[in-house]
Amino acid sequence: MTAPYVDLVHTLRQAFPQPVSDRVHDAYFAFSVLRTLDQVDALKSRQPLLGVSEVPDYDLARAQVMADQPRLLEEVSRQLVGYLSGMFIWGHPRAQINVVPPPTIASIIGGLLPSIYNANLVSEESSRRVAVAEVEAAAMTSRLVGYDPSQSAGVFTFGGTGTALYGVRLAIEKVFPGTMQQGLRQPAAIVCSERSHYACKTVAGWLGLGFDNVVSVPADGNNEIRPCLAETLCRDFLKNGGTIAALIATMGTTDAFGVDDLVALHGLRDRLVDEFGLERPPHLHADAVIGWAWSVFNDYDFDANPLGFRGRTVRALAAVRRKMQSLHLADSIGIDFHKTGFTPYVSSLFLVKRAADLAHLTRSRESMPYLFQSGVYHPGEYTLETSRSASGAMSALANLLLFGKNGLRALLGHVVSMAETLREQLEAHAATTVLNRGNFGPVTLFRVYPDGVDTFAMPELEQTRADHREQLREYNRYNHELFDIIQSEAMRGQGVVISLTDCYRETDYGEPVVALKSYILSPFAEEEAVGAVLESIWRARQILAERRRMTDSRA
Ligand SMILES: *Cc1c(COP(=O)(O)O)cnc(C)c1O
């Protein structure tokens, strides 16, 4: 009689891919995936979400315990599928929620393969040729952004926040050499725009610089850093004996797609170095996690326009290209393939212009005695992570191969052209106004007003005049209520899923401006989906007008 555990091991072997070719079992593996996908498919309808949206029961979740006995793979995968219920389908034309792309099949396979064979990018020893995929993806992207791949280097890491963390960590080591060894002994600042992502703060906090050492520079009406104010703030800071570790340019803000003037920030850095005789210049990091993808237009001929984008789209793409062309001026760049590169989470690339900079972060080999016995590629010597998934690198590479420059140009051009169509229609209506008019990406922030409001004058008055505070608040509420109606309609399967931002920006007198937001990243979006946004707005406006009439008549 065999021991019971032996039976269990034998059973569980079926739940692993077989180490030696076994076509029958391969079919079982593939079929398990297929059946799972079938079950997901059953959750699809015409609506932009899987299954139904329900209120999650976290108390029930906390009450769960691990069972005594194994369960069947089929049961487990069926249960797992259930957790997708209520998920938005980001690729649905009527899902226009945020900067979340639908991943391509190639990138999903790219993510899957290293999951099966468990490549670990800590080193070539544990990732073998998969390490080459990381180097290839980094080299191709380097070239796109204008770096020289023979000088630059890149590692995939845990999100855009991770890329900023690498950038600032490098910055600290450059202004205070030896910090890796001795620790941080004096304060240093990070300078970035008030529109920068909160990742700058996260990083400052986690690296021991502190939130208080993030110098937030006011942005202009186009959500771009004001370089002259950055200069003033930096000067004052240096005059008072402070150290600036890093300047961070935001190349594509999260909400509005504002793009900082990197040429100006680069010039500013050089002037500060000259004027203050800085021996250790501040590091210039570009947070391009969103904007990087527009680099594919760096060598696009907008005059000949071989892809045939329409005029308004050409203007929008060229405007972003003009800014994005200067990305190579940054000492390091953060890139998210999972934002505008159509891969699954997490696929973030940290690029440095000079690979030699990474030496600042290198630990000694002696501290890692069990690693790096062979081979030449050992990113684990300088990465924050030890185990590092190869899924991000492989899915990024998958899309670089799948798209080619023209493919990514076409996709970006398409979503921008859809956003431009939306803007055209919003601008044509008296009741709606586009807020981020000077930003030319796939995201549109807008505000809706009730009948009888002069929407040409109102946004400006709300922004600048404190005597319009009450009105601003009223229209903030109005947009909130409008959003609630649009959202609940969308959850019932009608209309579109858009989002709302509580503070698109602050008014000159310090009040938050609420805005509605349409972020189009679906390759499946067509004019009809744009029209659906407008229709949702009109229906919701009508409902609100109705409500108001009822309360008025009751009063
Ligand atoms: C999303 C975002 C980040 C954070 O990136 P994650 O990949 O979500 O960690 C940083 N900066 C900007 C501008 C972003 O939009």
- What's the pLDDT at 363? 82
- What's the pLDDT at 225? 98
- What's the pLDDT at 53? 86
Ligand 1 touching residue 335 (CB < 6 A): no
Name the residue at shortest CA distance from atom 3 of ligand 1. 160
Ligand 1 touching residue 199 (CB < 6 A): yes
- What's the pLDDT at 373? 67
- What's the pLDDT at 364? 74
Indicate the pTM of the whole model: 0.96
Ligand 1 touching residue 250 (CB < 6 A): yes
Atom of ligand 1 at shortest distance to CA of 158? 9
Ligand 1 touching residue 254 (CB < 6 A): yes
Name the residue at shortest CA distance from atom 12 of ligand 1. 197
Atom of ligand 1 at shortest distance to CA of 196? 13
> 149-363 has which CATH code?
3.40.640.10
Residue 366: both structure tokens together? 């002696």
Reported as type and span, the H/E element at residue 353 is none
Name the residue at shortest CA distance from atom 14 of ligand 1. 254
Ligand 1 center to 199 CA (angstroms): 7
Ligand 1 center to 106 CA (angstroms): 23
Q: List per-block mean pLDDT (blocks of 10 residues) for the chain, which spans 555 residues.
A: 94 96 97 97 93 93 98 97 96 95 98 97 95 98 97 97 98 97 96 98 98 97 97 97 98 96 98 97 98 98 98 98 98 98 98 95 75 81 97 98 98 98 95 95 96 88 93 96 94 89 93 97 96 96 93 81
Beta-bridge partner residues of 154: 351
- For 213-274, where are the E strands, in sequence order? 214-217, 244-250
CB 290 within 8 A of CB 252: yes
Ligand 1 center to 226 CA (angstroms): 21
Name the residue at shortest CA distance from atom 15 of ligand 1. 254
Pocket test residue of 97, 287, 501 for ligand 1, highest count of atoms within 8 A of CB: 287
Ligand 1 center to 166 CA (angstroms): 14
**Who contacts 141 (Cβ-Cβ below 8 Å, separation ≥6)?**
154, 292, 335, 349, 351, 396, 400
Pocket test residue of 156, 161, 194, 332 for ligand 1, highest count of atoms within 8 A of CB: 161
| Per-residue DSSP letter, 191 | E
Name the residue at shortest CA distance from atom 6 of ligand 1. 160
Residue 250: both structure tokens together? 């935001």
- What's the pLDDT at 289? 98
Atom of ligand 1 at shortest distance to CA of 346? 7
- What's the pLDDT at 371? 65
- What's the pLDDT at 369? 65
**Who contacts 456 (Cβ-Cβ below 8 Å, separation ≥6)?**
none
- Tell whether domain 92-148+364-555 is in CATH 3.30.360.10: no
CB 499 within 8 A of CB 490: no
Atom of ligand 1 at shortest distance to CA of 290? 15
Domain ranges of the chain: 4-82, 92-148+364-555, 149-363
Residue 335: both structure tokens together? 């890139």
